[in-house]
Amino acid sequence: MTTAQAKHESASAMATETLDVLIIGAGFSGLYLLDRLREHGFNVHLVEAGSGVGGIWHWNCYPGARVDTTCNIYQFSRESLWRKWDWNERFPGYAEMRAYFEFVDQQLDLSRDISFDTRVRRTHFDEQARNWIVESDSDTGPSQMRANYLLVCTGFGSVPYTPAFDGLDSFSGPCHHTGLWPQQGLDFSGQRVGVIGTGASGVQVAQEAARAARELTVFQRTPNLCLPMQQQQLDATDNERLRTNYPADFATRSQSFGGTDYLFDPRSALQASPAERTELFEKLWAKGGFWFWLANFQDLLSDAAANRTAYDFWRGKVHERIDEPATAELLAPAVPPHPFGTKRPSLEQWYYDMFNEPHVHLVDIKQTPISQITPAGVVAGGREYPVDVLVLATGFDAVTGGLTEIDIRGSDGSNLAQKWADGVRTYQGLANSGFPNLLVSYGPQAPTAFCNGPTSAEFQGEYIVEMLCYLREHNLSRIEATPQAEQAWREECLELVRPTLFPQADSWYMGANIPGKKREILMYPGGLPMYMEALEKSAAEGYAGFELS
């Protein structure tokens, strides 16, 4: 039988059988759940819109796309995997991440239970049968499936956001969003490249463009408070050394706010002397990565004056690297655009230095907004900036978009996106009242983007696996969050974020990057240990907050 015939047969079989579990999305969360649920004897299948595994690393293949978490914890903690895998870089690029996902796929034989190029469009809960009917667009995979449990693992950044720039369609050259980059790549050599947006994607792609392009114009609305990556190449000896530390690194994740292998410094920035502050700041700066953000004084993200000490240190470091004072002021202004760390900092390598080069230009589109895109370039402040290639690094309908773009209908036929129109409601960031047997991993009101992705995939994933095992063992076939538990969870999220500085930034953490989206914290702000404690308490009480039958 040919592969196409085999796929067709398995698609037909799936149209008639009822799976125990259907998973949407082949990133860290979805793959973890597929593997673990299979190990527990569930009949499980996974559908993925892309043509390969890797989730965000499949789609974000723009030049420079790179992880912002060190490789030791940006991987599964399963020993049979890390024993056999060597990393080439401390912060791996997208190509290395893709190779890692292929390795995991091969080691765990995951693809045999995955339908690729299959995008789920609609799904509804059949109350009588107690299962989900899922419809997708696919030429080769199943177009309709039934499953007792539906696990949505679409990640925080699967729906790119493109602003409605006047004339965008008229642009005559290649124009791509970083989150939908052409799989065959795009060469910047000798081109005049324009990058709109200076989030992590914009910073990364601009750095690469600066090296290849004839001219690079960066359109900045808000400066990114970037941190030094301190990249390192890793050889076999480095990997052996890393492996000896992995068990301790993985163990630390459960104690840290963001599922990392380091913790906040327990001291207050304001109680420390200026010399002590500088000492810690310098130490964390030299380590690179997110240490300056997540291993810094514990009051940095809750006290404005403490935060300002870090901002001023950061600003000084940036100014040292930029020749032109006006450019330095645009990139690192005297008045902070938002408290440091309340928008996710990007990790940069030569981002600031590149603005000293004559072919790299910075345009302040806060002062002079983009009024139009023409066939030949970008118009801002009445001036046309000529561009051959236009890069839209304008972000994502983050955290909720992957769920709300699917027409998900619950037991009374109502739609999840409508339910969330005036504010997200979940219980434990996992479940929804009115939507029985639907569970979400790496979604809203969970640690999600406040947490390292693989850590979240494993911690939340294991909780879901245990929950499904519990239901099976107790001959139960339906689980639904109660409206009261959901309301209390929402209030807890809003309450926990109130004393922090996060609400002060117009960030995607706050849903503030999408016009018309409700402005509210989209993550659970209590940190991973507190989150897992709440989940474990509920489980110990027979899944308090849920109705089981």
Binding site for ligand N01 (CB under 6 A): 66-68, 157, 163, 178, 196-202, 204, 221-222, 344, 347, 365, 370, 393-396, 449, 508, 513
Q: Closest by alpha carbon to 402, among 149, 35, 55?
A: 55
Two tokens, residue 312: 């001023």
Give the shortest CB-81-to-ligand N01 separation in angstroms. Answer: 20
Minimum separation from the CB atom of position 443 to ligand N01 (A):
15
Spatial separation of the C-alpha atoms in residues 489 and 421, rounded to whole Å = 17
State which residue, 411 or 455, has the beta carbon closest to ligand N01: 455
Number of H helices, E strands in the chain: 17, 20
Report the half-sphere exposure of 537 (CA within 13 A, side-chain side). Answer: 8
Backbone angles phi, psi at 215, to 5 degrees: -145, 145
In the complex, what is the shortest distance from the CB of residue 314 to ligand N01, in angstroms, rounded to a whole number?
17
Token pair listed for 409: 């209908």
Nearer to ligand N01, 307 or 507 (CB): 507
CB 400 within 8 A of CB 522: yes
Q: In the complex, what is the shortest distance from the CB of residue 170 to ligand N01, in angstroms, rounded to a whole number?
A: 17
Do residues 68 and 346 touch, judged by C-beta distance below 8 A? yes
Q: How far apart are CA 404 and CA 419, in angstroms?
A: 10
Residue among 163 and 174 whose Cβ is closer to ligand N01? 163
DSSP structure class, residue 207: H
| CB closer to ligand N01 out of 198 and 327 | 198
For tokens 């002397």, name the residue.
Answer: 273
Nearest to 91 by CA among 245, 279, 291, 283: 291
Going from the C-alpha of 326 to that of each of 209, 210, 271, 331, 548, the distances in angstroms are: 22, 20, 34, 9, 62
What are the φ/ψ torsions at residue 271 (nearest 5 degrees)?
Answer: -85, -20
CB 371 within 8 A of CB 379: yes
**Smallest Cα–Cα separation from 187: which of 200, 173, 197?**
173
| Count of other CB atoms within 10 angstroms of residue 442 | 28
Complex with ligand N01: residue 7 or 221, whichever CB lies closer = 221
CA distances to 272, 301, 302, 336 from 298, rounded to whole Å, are 12, 7, 8, 20
Find tokens 């998973």 and name the residue.
23
Q: How far is the CB of 532 from ligand N01 (least distance, A)?
A: 22
Q: Longest Cα pair distance anywhere in the chain, in angstroms?
A: 73
Between 38 and 343, CB nearer to ligand N01: 343
Task: Identify which of residues 194 and 434 has a Cβ nearer to ligand N01 in the complex.
Answer: 194
Q: How far apart are CB 436 and ligand N01 at their closest, in Å?
A: 31
CB of 362 to ligand N01, least distance (A): 13
Are 114 and 50 in contact by the 8 Å Cβ rule? The answer is no
Separation of alpha carbons 448 and 28, rounded Å = 12
Candidates 396, 371, 395, 392; CA nearest to 381 is 371
Q: Which is nearer to ligand N01, 218 or 439 (CB)?
A: 218
By beta-carbon proximity to ligand N01, the closer residue of 157 and 444 is: 157
Residue 203 CB, shortest distance to ligand N01, in Å, is 7
Taking CB atoms, the residue at the shortest distance from ligand N01 is 199
The least distance separating ligand N01 from the CB of residue 370, rounded to whole angstroms, comes to 6
Q: In the bound complex, what is the minimum distance in angstroms from residue 153's beta carbon to ligand N01?
A: 17
CB closer to ligand N01 out of 264 and 396: 396
